[in-house]
Structure 1
Amino acid sequence: MSGMGDEEEEYRGPVTVVVDEREIAAEAHLAGHFDPLTGGYRWVGRLAPNSEVSEWYAAGKARTVVVRTPEGHEGHGRIGDPNVWGGHPVSGSGRPPFAVPEVFADE
C-alpha cells in the first residue's frame, strides 16, 4: 500500500476518528513499519471520503486526530489535505491504531 517494503503491517476496515473528543466513524487503509534508523514505529494511510471529517478539516479542527480500530487499538496522528477522491491522508509515529506483532529480545 505505502511502498515501504515487505516488512510492513496493514489494516483495512472501519475506524473511529476522534477530533476534539468527537468520534467520527470512517473507513481506512493503514500500513506501518518499524523504522530502525529512528527506533520508532511509523504508520501511514488514507481515510475514505467522509463528509464529517472533511467538514472538521476545512474548519481547521481536524489536524491532529486519534484513530481507533474496533479492537481498541489507537494511534495519534495527523491528517492532511483531501485527495482528488475526497479522502484524507493520515500518518503518525509511535503506537499504531492496529495490532502489530510483539517482538521480544532474548537477553
Structure 2
Amino acid sequence: MARRSTAKGSPHAGADYYGTAILIVRGVEVPVRVEMRGYPEPTDGVYRWVGRIDADDALTDVLGDEQRTPCVVRTGDTACPAVVGDRDLWNRYRVMGKSTPPYPLL
C-alpha cells in the first residue's frame, strides 16, 4: 500500500510516495519498495522525480553492474519510463524520471 508519510520524525516524512512498485527492467517485472519525491525544475519547467529503491536481491540479479538502465516504474495503474542509476553502499538503487510521476500528485 502506497502512502505519503507525514509523521514528524519519520525518515520518510519528505516523500511524495513511499510504498510498493513494480520495476520492469529488460522485460522482467521485479516487485520493489520505493521512496520517491518530485519537483518542477525551475530552469525548464519539467517535473522531475527521483528516489531510492530498497535493497532487493532480485533487482540486483537483473541489473548486474550496469550503471544507467532504462526501466518502467509502475505503482497501481500508473506506469512511467525511468532510469535506474547508481547503487549505494546499502545496495539501494537510485531511480529517476521526468514528466508525469508514477504516483498521484496531491
What TM-score does the superposition give when structure 1 sets the normalisation length? 0.77
Q: Once the 2 structures are TM-superposed, how far is the Cα of residue 9 of structure 1 from its aligned partner?
A: 6.5
Rg bigger for which structure?
Answer: 1
Q: Once the 2 structures are TM-superposed, how far is the Cα of residue 53 of structure 1 from its aligned partner?
A: 1.1
Tell me the SS of whatever aligns to 2:62: helix
2:98 alignment partner in structure 1: 93
Identity level (%): 26
RMSD over equivalenced CA pairs, Å: 2.1
- Report the number of matched residues: 93
Which residue, 32, 52, 58 being the options, matches 1:52? 58
Unaligned runs of 5+ in 1: 1-7, 102-107
What TM-score does the superposition give when structure 2 sets the normalisation length? 0.78
Q: Match of 1:76, as an amino acid? A: P
Unaligned runs of 5+ in 2: 1-13
Q: Distance in 1 between matches of 2:40 and 2:50?
A: 12
